[in-house]
Chains A and B, each alone.
Chain A
Amino acid sequence: MTLFRNSESWLRAAPQSPYVGLLTALAIAMPTSSIYAQGTVAVSVVNMIPQTLSGESVTDSEPNLAVNPSNTQNIAASAFTPDPMGGVNAPIYISTDGGQSWVLNSIVPGNDTIAETGTHDITLRFGSTSNVLYAAIQRGDATNVLSVLRTNDFTSANPMTELVSRGGVDQPYVEAISVAGTDRVYVGYSDLTAPGGMRSTVDRSLDAATTPAPAGFTSQRIEARNTCGNEAPSVRPAVHETGTVYAAFFRWTKCDYVPYTSDVVVVRDDNFAAGSSGAFTALREPPPPAGDGMPGVSVVTDRLVPFGVRTLGYQKVGSRISIAVDPYDSQRVYLAWGDGADAAHFALHVRKSSDGGVTWSSNDLRTIPSATNPSLAINSRGRVGFLYQKLTGTAPGQRWETHLERTDDDFATPPIDLVLHQAPDTVGHDPLRNDVPLGDYNQLLAVGRDFYGVFSGNNTPDMANFPHGVKFQRNADFAARKLLAVDNVTEVNASIDPFFFKVPEVLIVDTCLRHPWLCVSPSKLGRGSFTLECALRGCIIVDPLPKNCLVKFSCPGCGPGGLCPPFYNIYLDGLKQAWDVGLYDAKGRPVEHKQFNTRAGLVISFRPSRENYLEGRIGNYLLGFEMSSKGTPGTEYKVKTRVQRSDRPFEPPN
């Protein structure tokens, strides 16, 4: 079985594809070209402050997030959150249930024991298969001191191990990927000590998981040109498993007065930045006279950035940039940044390159005025997610809205826009002139098909602020719109809290229509068995149940005097944890069901709706199989299957 990621190749292959009929059938079942609607997306938003810290009211801003690709139940996050007891270690937020509940785990050396900020800047990432969590921080107990840290057990009480410590560093931002059993870790940052203000730098290690400190970290200066003597702090790497590493940054060309003048630059390396010299030089401007022939492509030039001044409400927005690469196409890369001389002109911009950053879309794919903190991610379906925070209204009644937009067509049609949070711009700025109540960044990640993210915002417990609902762990009275202390009586002032969110992508039909090369049928169908095989990670195997009833097993109808429609328990033995299974209706919408892991595999238990029930064929339902991170592309998984009728839901044996 050969699958093609490139759509042109798929078109050539399509006539031989045995799945055309399936896709045609799915297309016929679709009422429109897009069946996405906000109401069908099971968004979860969680206030991450634990119940035992209900009395806190500090500014827990500038959040970051790491989801363990090997086990997405394990998630770590960070913010400007101090150790609640004033200990020497700052906390990270950890979840072991997929983000539904959170605790603080104080394991980050360098807590600011006085200022109630924890560390200064902090970002986190997991290796993709190693289970090792990395952190790049500015220590809270020092000024501009970088620490790169790791732990192989983020629930442990042991402080993270320091791999690197260096002074003169601003805004360290970490990315990590596991390749061939080693973790490649990249930390983008601004080197405040760089001569000539050529500050944009990336530190990298090619084997960070187990190698003793300093774990092979070396510094790579990615700014090749002269600057105005200074440069913006945000330097963002993006890593692809084939070895392509991008980094994006602002090159300031004039910084005598605000607004500064800046180019937005992307550099690239094609071998994990492994070379001892000459890293990040794969992209170059054309030779003179068209360009200067030097490394780094300027996506735009001479943009104005209002660095260091309040611009949107109480928020500084002077250095905002994000870059993301398609996990299945190292040449497909998206860039978002913010520029504009002042509040009236400041906007976020999104552009795309399909040739590895050599050329970029000449116009914005998307422009969001009055917005900050862009974060891009691309999921296993090629869908682009764009997280940002937008200021709306007029002072003093301005509000921050946190949006997640998703697009499959580069925003050619209106994106799917989820407003995760909307609340007044009234907290987080204080008499001590805190100018970044939301922080200088938030984070969007795609792991497999799902989007995960974190943002900081006004924590007033008002359901009107959370269009898709919210779960608070800390004590709150939503009816009175008040936060309550641990005694559940004393009122607590509203402040800035971090919020986790997850947006699962479950509409497989939609994906199959948009990315048909990802969708195939099971092979080697037989009585009581079938074979699952994907040549490409991220593919979906769609298996209509009525066909199962004709080929693989008999589907009993309603029993005499029994429940009708009955419950059906579909046994799937041999999945070997390599496949995530979902149940959908003919339109691709998820169907309520329960899954039970058994010694041999999985049981899907559900009861068809009366309207959709077909006697002897169960009904127009689809099983969707998606290869998990434990699956191996190109491997045949033989699955034994049977169906059982019951008047009661499945009960696992004791």
Chain B
Amino acid sequence: MYMRYLIIFSGLMALINAKDAAAASVEESVQHSHFDFKGTVTKVNAATLPQIRPTASTIIVKVDEVVHAPPILGDYTGKEVTVRLNQPGGVRTGQQFVFFTTSWMFGSSIAVREIHRTQAEPDMSSVRRRVAEARRTVADNKLQNRLTHAELVVVGRVSVVRAAPENIRRDSVAEHDAGWEEAVIQIESVLKGQINEQSIVILFPSSGDVMWKSAPKFREGEEGTWVLRRERMRGLPPTEEYFTALNPRDFHSKDQLDRIKRLVR
């Protein structure tokens, strides 16, 4: 009798551990995956693009259900993709999996690199929930990383936008000209760090050049939360530094305030 309970208990623990492991894998996978889907293996040693030489690592998978996909793909349900497996072999035609993948090739079809795969479940709702939660966590972790390394996090409003001082603009002459401008932020509250003034001047690139395209640009009257760090700018004495918010995660509209308060330390 005791042995029977022990076996049942061990089985339950194994099941729980397996589920935990699967959940952990999902969490880890979505940090690197961009296209997650349930699919059926239709061919092994094959590819949907002529540019790919089929090997034991390339299989064709029909997408049965999209869990997460970049918008550019549209609805890929029902279409076939090439999957490059982490390890050659190990799958058979007709098998169904949930694939966590990232990009490889885009042509008349697409090819993706496998990050991870799990056994498919008939009801995908729990997978969807886990993936959505994991993606939220990933996004929060990235924002939290910016907040952790920020010197100052302020809530406020842009009162003035003006050209940066001449010595900064002149010294930054390059093909990828940043077009430095200053934004004066009237501070409503400080979420991290200390500042005695009512306002702060930050430097931002106005250029849409590839090197600065993702950096937030500011307009007078704009409200939100700034995640600021100090940068030493070329053209200025080493003792002079500017606050900047160059990463897209360094500025957030006001509707994100509760989330930032939750994450800021």
Contact = CB atoms under 8 A, between A and B. Distances in A.
Interface of A: 50-53, 55-56, 62, 80, 83-89, 91, 94, 96, 101-106, 112, 114-117, 120-121, 138, 140, 143-144, 155, 157, 170-171, 190, 192, 230, 233-234, 255, 307-308, 318-319, 430-436, 440, 473, 485-487
Interface string B160-186: 000000000000011111010000000
Interface string B186-223: 00000000000000000000111111011001000000
A155 B104 contact: no
Looking at A112, A319, A433, the one whose CB has the most chain B CB atoms below 10 A away is: A433
Given A96-B51, A112-B214, A432-B207, A106 B174 contact: no
Contacts of A115: 210, 213-214, 248
A50 B106 contact: yes
B70 A485 contact: no
Contacts of B72: 53, 55-56, 84-85
Interface stretch (B89-97, B108-116, B147-155): B108-116
A170 B177 CA distance: 11
Contacts of A55: 71-72, 74
Contacts of B179: 433
Given A84-B70, A85-B35, A192 B214 contact: no
Given A105-B104, A106-B103, A486 B211 contact: no
B211 A230 contact: no
Interface in B44-78: 49-53, 70-75
B43 interface: no
A51 B107 contact: yes
Given A53-B72, A84-B106, A103 B84 contact: no
The 8 A-B pairs of least Cβ separation, nearest first, read A432-B208, A103-B107, A115-B214, A434-B208, A85-B34, A85-B103, A117-B210, A233-B175
A102 B106 CA distance: 9
B225 interface: no
A104 B210 contact: no
Contacts of A120: 176, 210-211
A394 to B, nearest CB: 25
A588 to B, nearest CB: 34
Given A103-B105, A106-B104, A114-B214, A230 B70 contact: no
A308 B177 contact: yes
Contacts of A53: 72, 106
A192 B217 contact: no
Interface of B: 32, 34-35, 49-53, 70-75, 84, 102-111, 113, 173-177, 179, 206-211, 213-214, 217, 248
Looking at B71, B176, B207, B248, the one whose CB has the most chain A CB atoms below 10 A away is: B176
Looking at A53, A87, A170, the one whose CB has the most chain B CB atoms below 10 A away is: A87
Contacts of B84: 157
Looking at A52, A104, A106, the one whose CB has the most chain B CB atoms below 10 A away is: A52
Contact of A434 (B34, B50, B107, B213): B213
A630 B50 CA distance: 25
Nearest to B57: A157
A87 B208 contact: no
Contacts of A434: 207-209, 213
25 contacts: A50-B106, A50-B108, A52-B107, A53-B72, A85-B102, A105-B51, A105-B104, A106-B105, A114-B214, A116-B214, A138-B211, A155-B52, A157-B104, A170-B176, A190-B175, A234-B175, A308-B173, A308-B177, A318-B175, A430-B208, A432-B213, A432-B217, A433-B179, A436-B209, A485-B74
Contacts of A50: 106-108
Contacts of B102: 85, 87-88
B209 A52 contact: no
Looking at A85, A94, A101, A121, the one whose CB has the most chain B CB atoms below 10 A away is: A85
Contact of A96 (B50, B104, B176, B248): B50
Nearest to A232: B175
A143 B51 contact: no
Nearest to B81: A52
Looking at B70, B110, B210, B217, the one whose CB has the most chain A CB atoms below 10 A away is: B210
B104 A86 contact: no
A643 B189 CA distance: 90
B70 A85 contact: yes
Given A84-B103, A96-B51, A155-B53, 16 more contacts: A52-B106, A52-B107, A52-B109, A52-B110, A55-B74, A84-B72, A106-B103, A120-B210, A144-B211, A171-B175, A432-B217, A433-B206, A433-B207, A434-B207, A435-B208, A485-B74
A433 B208 contact: yes
A121 B70 CA distance: 25
B32 to A, nearest CB: 8
A170 B174 contact: yes
Contacts of A102: 107
Contact of B51 (A88, A89, A103): A103
Contacts of A432: 206-208, 213, 217
Contacts of A104: 105-107
Contacts of A51: 107-108
A556 B248 CA distance: 76
Contacts of A86: 34, 70
Contact of A233 (B53, B73, B174): B174
A486 B248 CA distance: 29
Nearest to A94: B51
Contacts of A91: 103, 106
Contact of B173 (A105, A230, A485, A487): A230
A83 B103 contact: yes
A52 B70 CA distance: 12
Contacts of A233: 174-175
A576 to B, nearest CB: 25
A319 B176 CA distance: 12
Contacts of B248: 114-115
A120 B177 CA distance: 13
A255 B53 CA distance: 53
B162 to A, nearest CB: 16
A151 to B, nearest CB: 14
Nearest to A106: B103
Nearest to B175: A233
A81 to B, nearest CB: 10
Looking at A51, A84, A86, A144, the one whose CB has the most chain B CB atoms below 10 A away is: A84
Contacts of A140: 210
A307 B174 CA distance: 9
Contacts of A96: 50-51
